[in-house]
Chain A
């Protein structure tokens, strides 16, 4: 497949690995932001190919993992109502809330449906005028334009039975938080290539200048990630700190204008809690007041719902890159994809799930329970 196979070429990958080995003279700690990138790294064993002095820690780039517990609770509450058809991206179905999850709601008879695209939810609303259709609009900046379009189209079509439960998160504030943290060990970042496809990479200039940390926008195939790692390591070894773009075939400085404009029209920046991390100011998106008629939180009266975020959960340490999933005593014992304790184990892109799926035979674990 074009634009995929070439970037999985073993010869090129090996050549990049060799170059990285040749370049590295000191230990470095790098972080890839996006869960999709974590997944590729694990799936292809890239962390095993690069020098052991280059440590890869996994960032909070899994919107499923960072969706706050109370948002999951709100989703469960809404989906449990008999007149509701609740439509969601598949990844959210098994994320545990305080007492339940969407999968369980479905098992108990709730009309919970999986969609590949938010426009499917709009179609469902058109075909089911007597039911209330709610779409679970989560994601990073990559998905915001599509989620925005669904609301926009619903308004254009004059639909009275469509709404979105919005829980969007933004990447740069999370990077800023990590860089400001006294525990931060990360010396270079691989920025998420698809988020940057929408947003461009102008936002990272300020971060790089302020914190003197190199940031390279990277793609999602093995060759992309290896090239991004090579670029970061080259900068670090030379004492440089600038923004570079590895994923030039899809990303440019400004990003996607029409997409950004639509997001600007439909959403506004808001403070948001990130599961396992806490509240980060101006790190999320919510529907603008003009779109209140499509805001599921208002329609179903769940705005005030809160959930206790356990402050000691190790998900926080994993999401901040301070611990690896295998460091958690519950990993693969009490906490597995079938019985997840936290979101990073459930989401396909969660670090814990990636380690569980591709690596756990190597981790020596003694289950204590």
Chain B
């Protein structure tokens, strides 16, 4: 037998085509950002890689964000692509502490989409915007050949105003900080999957799609000792926390028994071999805060309908910088790695 050399000569498949994994919010997405987008669009604001961009125009600080929605199916328990578009964009602004004011809405419609579907989605979008106190002030419509789209894609850009003294950033987490989660995870991803796969629930799981800006406002009224906030959408809690750990160069340790998951969501995840830490949420937020005010903040969050199940799930540490770790039920520690590709495609 020949001696084994320790290099594996299996050829590496060249990454010369975009795959679904590039849109999943995990490592491949980050790779795309690093290798294709940042080099082309060099500027300080973009390089901060926050969920929204804070811009100064004269003496006013404006927050701007853009988001595209390609969820399949268009209608799901707890929402539709229209309301999702509003909530998603509003939340991106809210995570920076901004007050959302205006939205643009651009439709890319596939030829043949029933007019009734378009109407229902648009009405839902309008209702969601009104409920958030934001106005849809500009938009665009394109129609593509049948087969070139998937019913409907929506892009939305949001503008808001950044209040004085608010300076949230994924780079501000410090060892000792508390990690707070606003409620049950995995609802949205599982609701979408259930719709697609025909999973039957005893009590159907609804998407948690909701606008978080009023919850955020309550939180900011209580304290400014919040370092940053993220809404864990694609890639779940894991992606958001991994981004923060990387940008702040800290470790983040979570406690398995503290993480709130609905029984139905757990069942679906067990059955399909999914880890809820990677499943998308559309109405939850993570906040990294000064530990001194953590308990008070959780109490304030629980007064808000979208924060009833808020709790502390972990701590920022100096050890294992750049990594998110989980203290398991058995007391051992493992890492919560960033998703490589796709757990569930077309989730938001």
Contact = CB atoms under 8 A, between A and B. Distances in A.
Interface of A: 1, 4, 8, 10, 13-14, 42-46, 48-49, 69, 94, 96, 98-101, 103-104, 106-108, 116, 222, 310-317, 327-330, 334-339, 341-342, 348, 356-361
Interface string B333-348: 1110100110000000
Contact of A49 (B28, B263, B332): B332
B335 to A, nearest CB: 5
A298 to B, nearest CB: 28
Nearest to A309: B10
Given A329-B6, A336-B340, A337-B341, A45 B335 contact: no
B13 A45 contact: no
Given A49-B330, A104-B13, A310-B8, 16 more contacts: A44-B328, A44-B330, A45-B328, A46-B330, A108-B17, A116-B197, A312-B2, A312-B7, A314-B6, A315-B8, A336-B340, A337-B27, A338-B27, A341-B10, A358-B337, A359-B335
A116 B274 CA distance: 12
Interface string B292-320: 00000000000000000000000000001
A100 B329 contact: no
A81 to B, nearest CB: 18
Nearest to A346: B340
Given A103-B19, A107-B17, A357-B335, A328 B328 contact: no
27 contacts: A1-B270, A10-B330, A14-B331, A43-B328, A44-B334, A45-B328, A45-B330, A46-B330, A96-B13, A99-B13, A104-B17, A107-B17, A107-B18, A107-B19, A312-B2, A314-B6, A315-B10, A329-B6, A338-B27, A338-B341, A339-B12, A358-B334, A358-B335, A358-B337, A359-B335, A361-B320, A361-B325
A98 B290 CA distance: 52
B40 interface: no
A110 to B, nearest CB: 12
Contact of B15 (A13, A339, A341): A339
Interface in B1-28: 2, 4-13, 15, 17-21, 27-28
Contact of B20 (A106, A108, A310): A106
Nearest to B257: A10
In this complex, the interface size class of chain B, counting residues with CB under 8 Å from chain A, is 35 or more
A366 B93 CA distance: 40
Given A94-B341, A107-B17, A338 B9 contact: no
The 3 A-B pairs at the shortest CB distance, nearest first, are namely A45-B332, A337-B340, A358-B334
Nearest to A98: B11
A217 B267 CA distance: 26
B218 interface: no
B273 interface: yes
A330 B8 contact: yes
Contacts of A337: 27, 340-341
In the complex, which of the residues B330, B334, B341 has the most CB atoms of chain A within 10 Å of its own CB atom?
Answer: B330
Contacts of B31: 338
Contact of A100 (B8, B13, B335, B340): B13
B10 A342 contact: yes
A96 B10 contact: yes
In the complex, which of the residues B2, B17, B331, B334 has the most CB atoms of chain A within 10 Å of its own CB atom?
Answer: B334
A325 to B, nearest CB: 11
A69 B333 CA distance: 35
In the complex, which of the residues B10, B15, B329 has the most CB atoms of chain A within 10 Å of its own CB atom?
Answer: B10
Contacts, number: 122
Name the prevailing secondary structure of the B interface residues. loop
Given A107-B17, A108-B17, A313 B332 contact: no
A49 B337 CA distance: 21
Nearest to B266: A1
B323 interface: yes
Given A1-B270, A337-B341, A361-B320, A48 B332 contact: yes
Given A49-B330, A336-B340, A361-B325, A328 B6 contact: yes
B272 interface: yes
B242 to A, nearest CB: 12
A149 B73 CA distance: 30
B201 to A, nearest CB: 14
Contacts of A99: 11, 13
Contacts of A328: 6, 8
Nearest to B27: A338
B273 A348 contact: yes
B334 A42 contact: yes
A178 B9 CA distance: 24
Contacts of A103: 19-21, 341
Contacts of A96: 10-13
A96 B14 CA distance: 11
Contacts of B2: 311-312
Contacts of B333: 45
Contacts of B4: 312, 314, 316-317
B334 A313 contact: no
Contacts of A357: 335, 337
Nearest to B28: A338
A337 B12 CA distance: 12
B34 to A, nearest CB: 12
In the complex, which of the residues B28, B272, B329 has the most CB atoms of chain A within 10 Å of its own CB atom?
Answer: B329
A328 B332 CA distance: 25
A330 B328 contact: no
A360 to B, nearest CB: 7
Contacts of A316: 4
Contacts of B331: 10, 14
Contacts of A94: 341
Contacts of B28: 338
A349 B19 CA distance: 22
B17 A313 contact: no
A312 B9 contact: yes
A359 B334 contact: yes
Contacts of B12: 96, 334, 339, 341
B17 to A, nearest CB: 5
A358 B320 CA distance: 13
Contact of A106 (B9, B19, B263, B330): B19
B332 A44 contact: yes
